Amino acid sequence: MPVYQNNLKDKKIDFDAIKDKVRVFAPATVANMICGFDILGFAVDEPGDEVKMYRVSEPGVRIRSIVGDGGRLPLDADRNTVSACVKMLLIDLGILQDIGVEIELIKHMPIGSGLGSSSASTVAGLFAINALLGNPLTKDELMPYCVEGERLACGHGHADNVAPALIGGITLVRGGSDLDIVKIPVPSELYAGIVFPQVDVPTRDARQLIKEKVHLKDAVTQWGNIAGLVAGLFQSDYELISRSMHDVIIEPSRAILIPEFYAMKEIALSNGALSFGISGSGPSVVAVSKGKEVAEIVTTKIQEHLSANGIESFKYVSAVNVEGPKVLPFND
């Protein structure tokens, strides 16, 4: 699908259809998919973030509370990416002065994990306001606001996290200012074993390590790997997927920020993973596997290795989430 800024002024909102409250979950994502820096990504079943949104009488957008962020995220609605994107959408719809919403953000995933934390929150917020309004917008129409949320969060409006978080599955992003987002088939036995070591690798710092120029030989190798991976996904060819998921450009620069990276990689590959690499900017790492059992074995062994070296970690094992965000029932 092509992504471009919407003209939403002509959208008609049925105020009688607006709900009193909605609760939405949006999934974590693995950006880059090892060899596809800034262009490939996939969603997982867990972790993820949650937004509860309430219609109130006073017009405007406000943050009611944030849970699970350790006090790191702003409550100011103009500075928080979730509320800022919701506000932007309501302005473009021409109804900011006609509706009031309050937001509760529940972070179920750590900030700076390399699992698309800001993307999950932004997607959850935008999916929630759309659901609250009676779903007047398509996911295609929501996408530019999700990309803008990434720009606000990290200074670079890339879509490799927000695209799979919003539409689910595996996505390919083509272009810069004129984005195309392509949903790629998901082989039925493809699993992700994710380990999040408790070390700090800020996204901005990780990006600064990337070289601006690369050797043509490396570029050709990487292009071939990306093409081979996409072909392997379309054909459910796990051997081709395994041979293709190698990063010769970004990983060598970023791996130095992640303790025990190459030891973890050896553990993953020697225990049957198809491939292993950095999730997003790190420090989370991902072992892509055929089948859940392999992913469970690999993540357990990696955790044991990290623990033996004094590093605490979390693990998540998940199939690719093909649904994206979803509306949840309220518990109360």
Residue 203 catalytic? yes
Report the alpha-carbon distance of residue 109 to residue 42 in Å, rounded: 16
| One domain, residues 134 and 7 | yes
Question: What's the total number of domains in the chain?
Answer: 2
What lies within 8 Å, CB to CB, of 300 at 6+ separation is 315
| One domain, residues 126 and 219 | no
Percent of all residues in the chain with a pLDDT value above 70, rounded to a whole number: 93
| One domain, residues 259 and 157 | no
CATH number at residue 159: 3.30.230.10
Computed on alpha carbons and rounded to an integer, the radius of gyration of the chain in Å comes to 20
Cis peptide before 144 (omega within 30 of 0): no
| One domain, residues 219 and 152 | no
Half-sphere exposure of 115 (CA within 13 A, CB side): 29
Task: Specify the pLDDT at position 151.
Answer: 81
Q: Which two structure tokens, joined as six digits, stand for 104?
A: 């509760």
Task: Specify the pLDDT at position 229.
Answer: 98
CATH number at residue 266: 3.30.70.890
Task: Specify the pLDDT at position 226.
Answer: 97
Strands 100-107 and 179-184, bridge-based pairing: unpaired
Contact 84, 128 (CB under 8 A): no
| One domain, residues 175 and 196 | no
| One domain, residues 126 and 154 | yes
pLDDT tens-digit readout, 14-49: 898 899 999 999 999 999 999 999 999 999 999 999
Q: Within its chain, how far is the Cα of 103 from the centroid? A: 20
User: Which segments in the chain show pLDDT lower than 50?
Assistant: 2, 4
State in Å, rounded, how far the first CA of the chain is from the last one.
38
Q: From residue 77, how far is each of 60, 73, 103, 119, 145 by CA, in Å?
A: 9, 11, 9, 17, 16
| One domain, residues 170 and 202 | no
What lies within 8 Å, CB to CB, of 231 at 6+ separation is 237, 240, 244
Residue 177 phi, psi dihedral angles, 5° rounding = -75, -25
Report the alpha-carbon distance of residue 86 to residue 91 in Å, rounded: 9
Task: Specify the pLDDT at position 85.
Answer: 95
| One domain, residues 142 and 284 | no
| One domain, residues 60 and 208 | no
Report the alpha-carbon distance of residue 256 to residue 225 in Å, rounded: 22
Confirm whether pTM is higher than 0.85: yes
Active-site residue (options: 122, 203, 251, 260): 203
- Dihedral angle at the C-alpha atoms of 205, 279, 121, 86, nearest 10 degrees? 70
Task: Specify the pLDDT at position 19.
Answer: 96
| One domain, residues 167 and 221 | no
* Closest listed residue to residue 86, CA positions, set 28, 12, 24: 24
* Closest listed residue to residue 48, CA positions, set 115, 144, 98: 115
Task: Specify the pLDDT at position 205.
Answer: 61
Range of the domain at 221: 190-319
| One domain, residues 130 and 49 | yes
Active-site residue (options: 50, 150, 251, 260): 150
| One domain, residues 206 and 117 | no
